[in-house]
Amino acid sequence: MRKNKLGYLVFVSIMLFALLGGCTKSNDGTSNIEEVAFDYSRILDENGFWEGIRANDYVNVEKYLRLQIPRHIHYVSMGALQNEMKNFLDFYEITESELTDDFVVANLSDGIGWATVDELKEGLRLELQRELIMLYVEQHLSIGELLKPIPNHLMQYIESALVAEYRKLAEDNEMELDEFLSLTVGVSNEHELLEKFSEGNIATAIYSFTAQAIAENEGITVSQEDLDDFMLTNFGFGEYSLFENMYGRPFLMKLALYKKVVNFIIDNAILE
């Protein structure tokens, strides 16, 4: 239940990090984003890795092998658990008195494996805890020191992604881009947008380098089964040919790879 909602947010956030777009330089050397159709799988290889880039040359990922998670990060309060239980009861349209072991067996034993109310509560607590850890890991993936400058074409990729996303949102709202940016971000044009999010764009590059570097070191790749599971679990689609046609298979592989790396870090983390 919560897992699918969180997965959707992760999916969207990574899409914002990784959307592709053309970007050239104008005569004065400033960024000039091309208003053309985007090839979302450009500069990615078939496995979702940056083509021709060894990410370990750009970041040190040793600290992620056994990442320490502070207790205040992963602690699930009683209030949070009670709120999650309320969401559960509302979802199934039952009262607390109707929540029995028999109900859990009838509705949750096959798909999830819970057989008692106590197992349900512990399962929800662990899901909440994993979400908290996931957010912590996601934030940390974008924090680090670069060992060498970000390649120009990769930064152009990220800048184009940002502009492309806002352009799409403007179109969806039937507005001109500059008008939409002024209303939602407080900037006048795409160049001011890039200036405002310049630090975030660098963090995006670090995130992508870190995730790929861990995958390189640990031999993490995405199989067809992994991709199918990622699309179903995080986006609710068992059949996703429309997405594949829109974004290209390498792009979807990239999203699934990032999620698999995050799960690897969580599974190997040390909880304080």
Kindly provide the b/e burial profile for residues 47-57, where b requires at least 16 CB atoms within 10 angstroms of the residue's own CB. bbbbeebebbe
- The radius of gyration computed from the CA coordinates of the chain, to the nearest angstrom, equals 21
For 243-256, the pLDDT digits (tens) are 898 888 998 999 99
Q: Which tokens sit at 219?
A: 């031999």
Q: Where are the domains of the chain?
A: 2-71+149-271, 73-134
Where do we find the tokens 């179109």? 171
| CA gap 236, 135 in Å, rounded | 21
Q: Kindly list the distances between the CA atom of residue 223 and the CA atoms of 35, 61, 251, in Å, as whole numbers in the listed order.
A: 34, 23, 14
pLDDT tens, the chain, 272 aa long: 444 333 333 334 444 444 333 333 333 434 433 444 567 788 999 999 999 999 999 999 999 989 999 999 999 999 999 999 999 999 999 999 999 999 999 998 777 889 999 999 999 999 999 999 999 999 899 888 899 999 999 999 888 878 888 888 899 899 999 999 999 999 999 999 999 999 999 998 999 999 999 999 999 999 999 999 999 988 888 898 988 988 889 989 999 999 999 999 999 999 99
Q: Name the pTM for this structure.
A: 0.81
Q: Would you mind telling me the total number of residues written for the chain in this entry?
A: 272
